[in-house]
Structure 1
Amino acid sequence: MLAVMQSAISHHQAGRLDAAESLYQQVLRAEPNHADAIHLFGVLLHQRGRHAEALDLIRRAADLNPGQAAYHVNLADVRRALGDFAGAEADCREALRFQPANADAAYNLGLVLEAVGRSDEALAQYESAMAARFGWTAPYLNAGNFLRSTGRLYEAAAYYREAVRVCGDAPMVRYQLGQLLLELGLHDEALIHATEAARLRPDRPEALSGLGDAFTAVGRHDEALAVYRQAVRLAPGLASTHSQMGRLLTGIGQRAEALVCFAEASRCDPVAAEPHVFAAATLYELGHVAEAADRYREAIRLGPDDARTHNSLGYVLQDAGDLIAAAAAYREAIRLDPAGSADARLNLGLLLTESGDPTGAIESFRASLQLDPYHPEALSALGMTLRDKIDPAEVAAAEVALARGRLTPERQATLEYGLAQVMDARGDYARAAALVADANGIFTGLARRTGQEYTPAEHHDYVDQIIRSYPAEHFARVRGWGLDTDVPVFVLGLPRSGTSLVEQILASHPRVFGAGELNDVRDLYRSLPNLTRKSAPGVECVADLTRDGVESLARRYIDRVRGLAPEAARVVDKMPDNYLMIGLIATLFPTARIIHTRRDVRDTGLSCWLTNFKHIRWAADQVAIGERVREYVRLMDHWRTVLPGRMLEVDYEQIVADLEANARRLLAWCGLEWEPACLAFHQTRRVVRTSSMVQVREPLYSRSVRRWERYREFIGPLLATIGEVIDRENDQ
């Protein structure tokens, strides 16, 4: 029987389980009490999922041949599969009693202890296994995976690194280490390990996918796409790789292609929520807010207990203006994961800020910090809200969070913006400028890496096209077209020029609804190619507009704003960038009120530079800001020439100097009777969703007038770029 037994073991080790089972049974028919055959037959049945039968066999083998550590190790493994953790622990300890340096027994005991939440004891057993069998990767990998799953990322990285040092060519350890280092933001080191993992195992699609993740993180997008595609060729049904490729395509602006990848990921794994989450995020970036919300809802249907998805749904609903549903989504995220709800509590705080509840917002930000004392966005939000009234301990926490160097670049920048507001309020302008310069540098670099860098020359050409498309002859041609309505009021100008203040003053009138920054005029522009059946950008389609087309666009806009506030006499659309769209606005609504807010361009430019405008690419660079200001001035000169008398122009500095006179002027321009509540605009409770949402809830102050003088030595590139504009203003 010795030869038969050896053959059975050989088949077993090679994975030929049917042949091995037949031979074990042959041995046992000849020798019913052959302990090794009983034991290994039990192991085979365990591998086949027949755990109860395996338990009986291995237990019988242990009774026949006491003192065999291997029997008890495998017995523990079977008990663990059956959920009998107490019995599994006892068997592991029995094996260690027989053989104290048994690596398998220590490792299995670690698995058991980990499963019952005794983490420190589990780690000690993994370390015993490491010592007992030098060069064995499993205990290192399991210790690292366990620590990573519990958020102890730096400890996990230490185990992975030690495994690489001790075990040498350990491709899956290098893969896991690479993934973890990406999570920690250590992209260059991650690439080293991901590259080695893919070199060692080019046949493993997850190793290739991990290399794609690392290439993505360091901005080597073409190489990332190549290895993702190689991974997909190896494993076409690997949904995660399709998802990661889609995320890369989203990041480099190829969002339509990304959505195809997410659809393929969903096809590969119809019950996976993750592709829907990624698709929702991409749709949101494309401005398809309603579709994004639907995708998040589908992800929640597939994975109802994922708090992060509820949080993301809340963010999208908040952007859509459904603050009640958004708050409910955030609170559901908090309910599902109270200990991990720092982000949801932050977002709820931001929602409360928008809603005019600063006290509730501050409480929510601080609740976030109770869960994560160094949460950069929560610390930043407190800095933005409280400025020099912030608790010194929170400022210290912000400084520590920056000094530790553990933040992703984007989160670091967000914290720097918030801390800069505190320093500005304290009068430490040098520190504020240094923080903002670093934050803006991060976002400028990110835009460059993702192919979204702002190009002033392109904007100059765009302004040229606007001016060509709207000569005086255009307005003569369309005279009498559009809708005669005084419902919409367009408040526009450069960002940070006082548009939010003007809207808040007007919205304090009982007959006015402040709609905030609507994208509707921009969307109308984007629809012009379809309307005119012309394959060209919207601005080049203006000459092809017809009276019926203009009226249909105007009615679409009016139906939209009427739906926001059916009873309001006036609806304020406060989208600053609508200064680029004045030609279309005047074409659609020949009698609508247009209010242009102006401010010293040095203060406007500085304020843009100091503000966390993630999606306004030009605001992160002083020269780009200056170029944008110059183009703005050039375009506004054109509008004054071709549309004389069509705009009311109000200066921020004049409002600060004489609020009542300018409030009366604004209301008269809008055809509204005087309302004293407009002087107490800061007491008006309404949703405000701009970077000025804190300031407009404060009484009028003058500290922002000539603010640029405090930063003179730090904004040289801006001042140099707008020198001609300043000289012109001084001459007027």
Structure 2
Amino acid sequence: MRVAGTLVLIALVLVLVSPCAFSAEAQEPDPQQIFQDAAQAQQRGDLVVAVSKYQEVIRLNPNVVAAHANLGVVLVSLGRYDEAITQYHIALAEAPGDPALRLNLGLAYYKKGDFAAAAAQFASLHKENPGDLRVATLLGNCQVQLGLVDQAITLLEPLEKANPDNLDLEWALGNALIRTSQTLDGLKRIQKVADKGQNADAHQLAADLYLGLTLFDQAKENAQAVIRLNPDAAKAYVVLGMIDDFGGNEKDAQDNYRKALQIDPKDNQARLQLANAFLIDRKLDQAREEIDRALAIEPNSLAARYELARLERTEGNLAAALKDLEAIERQDPQWLPPHVELSALYYRLQRPSDGDREKEIVNRLRTEEQDRRGQSRVISPRVPLP
């Protein structure tokens, strides 16, 4: 399953119960029979019924650890993470330190996106059993999400040598390396996950990374692989459109952006890329329509406001373009494209000192980007997202 940017395949633990878990003096209704009915409903995927049955068991006998534990599993499957976490804590109060319950509690936090709480559970389990690869991988994923990428690499790299074909480990380590600007080393691992696991998410990430590195053939291959695995993947069509854009194939680019928007009308990157394609074709009214739609979806989008400024500049409304670009620059001074536009606009407005200042900023930001990527060539999408 893919959770909050990570790719980890995990089976939540189904806790079974022995007859002795229920009171021998139980009268009708029989909590043991209800528990069995709940477990059967859970196994056949009838989760709403399973929740109701487990809750009935708990009402009849609140001390049945397995009922709380299994209810937690079902609630996680339904996306009701806070309720699941409560059930795991109740179960742990009855069975303190139980590894399976702590693992499931960590997984509930993980799927909720509370990576700090999840990491606390996984770190404790890893300390007790350093050889548990699944726990170590989960902990590494949490560390990546928390920005502790150096810790994640220190944890995961030694494990990779003994487990070179563990795709969960490769995904976690690959993402950690990418976060530390070791893009090519990370990409090698992401590509392995994509190819060996036939995984659309990994192919999409690889396509995005190859595109940023101007390796268009590899980007195209991965985007096409995404579409084979998931024909409704809007982002893959965006990548194909951007490749066409860079090749000057504006008609094909527009077709791919339209395909992306047919799949996901709220994909603002596709919409703004389409607006840019219209702008290049001097179809200014159509470009404005797409920019207005993007701003309706996300009024505070700097990318949409950037495209609006470019449109205003093309229309000759230089004062409006300047105002918008300067506002964007103030909000995100490290974002390169507005500085590029401002530099050219200042020179056009006969303000050479301001143009020189912006040009220096552009050169500095480009150098920093090259250093981060470790590449001599650095590109940005024609509609870069800040």
TM-score normalised by the chain length of structure 2: 0.71
**2:113, 2:228 → 1: CA distance?**
38
Structure 2 residue corresponding to 1:158, chosen from 188, 196, 211: 188
**2:44, 2:326 → 1: CA distance?**
52
Q: Name the amino acid aligned to 1:174.
A: H
Alpha-carbon deviation of 1:60? 3.2
Partner of 1:212: 241
Structure 2 residue corresponding to 1:221, chosen from 228, 240, 250: 250
Partner of 2:307: 278
5+ unaligned residues in a row in structure 1: which ranges?
328-346, 351-360, 376-400, 411-732
Q: Name the amino acid aligned to 2:334.
A: A
Partner of 2:36: 2
Partner of 2:151: 121
TM-score normalised by the chain length of structure 1: 0.40
Structure 2 residue corresponding to 1:60, chosen from 81, 90, 102: 90
Partner of 1:311: 339
1:221-370 paired onto structure 2 within 5 Å: 221-296=250-325, 299=328, 304-305=331-332, 307-308=334-335, 311=339, 314-315=342-343, 318-319=346-347, 321=349, 323=351, 326=354, 348=357, 350=359
* Aligned 8 A contact 2:212 2:379 in 1: no
* Aligned 8 A contact 1:24 1:37 in 2: yes
* Aligned 8 A contact 1:38 1:57 in 2: yes
The verdict on how the C-alpha distance between 1:225 and 1:321 changes in structure 2, with shifts beyond 3 A counting, is: closer
Q: Per the alignment, in what secondary structure is the counterpart of residue 141 of structure 2?
A: helix
**2:297, 2:54 → 1: CA distance?**
40
Q: Deviations over 1:302-356 (max 9, x none)?
A: xx346327635743652354859958xxxxxxxxxxxxxxxxxxx6274xxxxxx
The verdict on how the C-alpha distance between 1:190 and 1:372 changes in structure 2, with shifts beyond 3 A counting, is: closer
Q: Deviations over 1:262-318 (max 9, x none)?
A: 2222223233221111232343355442232243356579xx346327635743652
Q: Name the amino acid aligned to 1:348.
A: R
> Which entry has the higher C-alpha Rg, 1 or 2?
1
* Aligned 8 A contact 1:297 1:313 in 2: no
The verdict on how the C-alpha distance between 1:27 and 1:300 changes in structure 2, with shifts beyond 3 A counting, is: farther
**2:251, 2:132 → 1: CA distance?**
48
Alpha-carbon deviation of 1:371? 4.7
The verdict on how the C-alpha distance between 1:44 and 1:256 changes in structure 2, with shifts beyond 3 A counting, is: same
**1:252, 1:145 → 2: CA distance?**
38
* Aligned 8 A contact 1:5 1:37 in 2: no
Alpha-carbon deviation of 1:5? 1.6
Q: Per the alignment, in what secondary structure is the counterpart of residue 265 of structure 2?
A: coil
Q: Deviations over 1:670-728 (max 9, x none)?
A: xxxxxxxxxxxxxxxxxxxxxxxxxxxxxxxxxxxxxxxxxxxxxxxxxxxxxxxxxxx
**1:58, 1:315 → 2: CA distance?**
58
* Aligned 8 A contact 1:101 1:132 in 2: no
Indicate whether 1:176 and 2:205 are aligned.
yes
Alpha-carbon deviation of 1:177? 0.7
The verdict on how the C-alpha distance between 1:247 and 1:84 changes in structure 2, with shifts beyond 3 A counting, is: closer
Q: Name the amino acid aligned to 1:296.
A: L
Percentage of identical aligned residues: 20
Alpha-carbon deviation of 1:101? 4.9
* Aligned 8 A contact 1:201 1:207 in 2: no
**1:92, 1:201 → 2: CA distance?**
32
Partner of 1:406: 376
Q: Name the amino acid aligned to 2:65.
A: A
* Aligned 8 A contact 1:8 1:24 in 2: no
* Aligned 8 A contact 1:21 1:44 in 2: yes
1:704-719 paired onto structure 2 within 5 Å: none
5+ unaligned residues in a row in structure 2: which ranges?
1-34, 381-386
Structure 2 residue corresponding to 1:28, chosen from 58, 61, 69: 58
**1:49, 1:277 → 2: CA distance?**
39
Partner of 1:357: none
**1:88, 1:296 → 2: CA distance?**
41
The verdict on how the C-alpha distance between 1:57 and 1:119 changes in structure 2, with shifts beyond 3 A counting, is: same
* Aligned 8 A contact 1:33 1:64 in 2: yes
The verdict on how the C-alpha distance between 1:94 and 1:409 changes in structure 2, with shifts beyond 3 A counting, is: closer
How many aligned positions are there?
342
Q: Per the alignment, in what secondary structure is the counterpart of residue 196 of structure 2?
A: helix
**1:82, 1:405 → 2: CA distance?**
33
The verdict on how the C-alpha distance between 1:277 and 1:175 changes in structure 2, with shifts beyond 3 A counting, is: same
Q: Name the amino acid aligned to 2:376.
A: R
* Aligned 8 A contact 2:306 2:338 in 1: no
Q: Per the alignment, in what secondary structure is the counterpart of residue 270 of structure 1?
A: coil
* Aligned 8 A contact 1:68 1:95 in 2: no
1:676-691 paired onto structure 2 within 5 Å: none
Q: Name the amino acid aligned to 2:357.
A: L
* Aligned 8 A contact 1:103 1:129 in 2: no
Structure 2 residue corresponding to 1:198, chosen from 227, 235, 248: 227
Alpha-carbon deviation of 1:78? 4.8
The verdict on how the C-alpha distance between 1:45 and 1:348 changes in structure 2, with shifts beyond 3 A counting, is: farther
**1:285, 1:293 → 2: CA distance?**
12
Q: Per the alignment, in what secondary structure is the counterpart of residue 276 of structure 2?
A: helix
Q: Per the alignment, in what secondary structure is the counterpart of residue 62 of structure 2?
A: coil
**1:68, 1:21 → 2: CA distance?**
22
Alpha-carbon deviation of 1:160? 1.6
Q: Per the alignment, in what secondary structure is the counterpart of residue 307 of structure 1?
A: coil
* Aligned 8 A contact 2:115 2:146 in 1: no
